[in-house]
Structure 1
Amino acid sequence: MPSIMLDAGHGGRDPGAVYNGRQEKDDTLRLVLALGPILENRGFDVDYTRTTDVYESPYEKAMQANNAGVDYFVSIHRNSFPTDNVVSGVESLVYNEEGIKFQMAQNINARLEDIGFENLGITARPNLVVLRRTRMPAVLVEVGFINSNTDNQLFDEHFDEIAQAIADGIAETLNTSSTTVSTEYSVQTAAFRNPTYANRFLNELLEQDFPAYIDASNGLMRVRVGRFNTLEDATAMEQRLKRAGYPTVIVSQ
């Protein structure tokens, strides 16, 4: 089964968002510690950026995931708005709106919506360090607004259901390959606008016996490796590429 790094947002000297004495760092840690065992019981290998109230920078968290060689990174946060009790709902952030990370974000949001949260959708945030510097598909989940009484009531009264819902969204995404034969996975290593650079990178991979090819759709020349019917096969290739020193992202087609 795939491995997942769970990140409880903020921690230590960084409380995150604060509302009426409630601190984001406490909610995120509590939720991550409930989510992890659910995923482990389903057979996933789970690691954590923190399990206590300690501070690590976003960069340190990204490097921790990279060094651990995990397959996926899921960061748990609580949102905030400048004015209290104006906005509520769940939102997930991704580096860009493509690939398996986008699918995972959609599934997590949908499961949380079933509990009663308003679904605010998926937002691309390529500037966030934990999304930009992680080498694996990464999703940051904003589990309601900490300065929304409505969301806090949902968070507290349906806490166990929330942990279960996030686990369901993750598992639904990663188990799709065993039931849906139409989904094909590939590992993307780079994207170029200049065909000379793209072909040079392609040849470098081919010389190392990677089954690389160029997808020239949508105005970019994306260098990808393999076409796989299962996520497990794509993940195995991703690990080979990582060991060879290449940046990777699994994409579904």
Structure 2
Amino acid sequence: MKVFLNPGHCPGVDCGAVNNDYEVNEAVIVREVGDLVGDYLRKAGCEVKLLQSDNLAGENPNYPNVCASANNWPADVFISLHCNAASAGQANGTECFVFSHWSASDRLAACIQSQIVNSLGTSDRGVKEGPRLIVLHNTTMPAVLVELAFISNDADCEKLIERKREFAAAIARGITDYIAAERGE
């Protein structure tokens, strides 16, 4: 199985969401989690490519094109990693986005969502449709955008900082659960 990992945003260009109280940003956290997910998946026998770029679908030619890279490889599954944020500090939890429900992407997202929520005890915000999200719209394989937790919520932010390895292991287990189910194992 070929898994394409896309940690969101791009350090030094677009840091994504920020928690100034904890002095952390989304781009760095998701890169660290993505590297760990890649390590777990390689150990499980998957082929992995990881690309963090400020060019999702050709809008910034100064950086590698994420969607084209995944499509041209071609990946079997695509995972984009993010940290959520909200102006309301009480917003918390994990959610996954897919292009549409009742699809292979939806099944993949359900596996990842379940593993994160059950392993880390984050609030279950569910699997949602996000057809306008570039990485879901412009990829040709089952694709999921994972919002690990809210960087803007102190309790979630602490999990993002202190439990990166657990997030990564949960995501990797979700992916391998999906692979096993698709293969009928």
Mark yes or no: TM-score above 0.5.
Answer: yes
Gaps of 5+ in 2: 58-64
Question: Contact 1:100–1:173 (CA<8 Å) still a contact in 2?
Answer: no
- Equivalent residue number for residue 71 of structure 1: 76
Give the deviation of 1:157 after TM superposition. 2.8
Structure 1 segments of 4+ aligned residues over 4 angstroms from their partners? none
Per-residue CA deviations over 1:158-207 (Å, capped at 9, x if unaligned) read: 22111111111110011114446xxxxxxxxxxxxxxxxxxxxxxxxxxx
CA distance in 1 between partners of 2:173 and 2:159 (Å): 18
- Equivalent residue number for residue 19 of structure 2: 19
Give the deviation of 1:56 after TM superposition. 2.4
CA distance in 2 between partners of 1:179 and 1:62 (Å): 28
Q: How do 1:195-234 residues align onto structure 2 when only pairs under 5 Å count? A: none
Gaps of 5+ in 1: 181-253
Aligned: 1:36 with 2:41: no
Equivalent residues, number: 174
Question: Contact 2:79–2:143 (CA<8 Å) still a contact in 1?
Answer: yes
CA distance in 1 between partners of 2:48 and 2:137 (Å): 21
Question: Contact 2:19–2:151 (CA<8 Å) still a contact in 1?
Answer: yes
- Equivalent residue number for residue 206 of structure 1: none
Provide the alpha-carbon RMSD of the alignment: 1.3
CA distance in 2 between partners of 1:148 and 1:41 (Å): 33
Q: How do 1:43-192 residues align onto structure 2 when only pairs under 5 Å count? A: 43-50=45-52, 55-59=53-57, 60-83=65-88, 85-114=89-118, 115-179=120-184
Question: Contact 2:37–2:171 (CA<8 Å) still a contact in 1?
Answer: yes
Task: Identify which of structures 1 and 2 has the higher relative contact order when contacts are C-alpha pairs closer than 8 Å and 6+ apart.
Answer: 2
- Equivalent residue number for residue 62 of structure 2: none
Larger radius of gyration: 1
CA distance in 2 between partners of 1:92 and 1:4 (Å): 17
- Secondary structure at the aligned position of 2:48 is classed as strand
Per-residue CA deviations over 1:18-38 (Å, capped at 9, x if unaligned) read: 111321100010100111010
Percent identity, aligned pairs only, is 30
- Equivalent residue number for residue 2 of structure 2: 3
Normalising by the residue count of structure 1, what TM-score does the alignment of the two structures yield?
A: 0.66
CA distance in 2 between partners of 1:56 and 1:156 (Å): 23
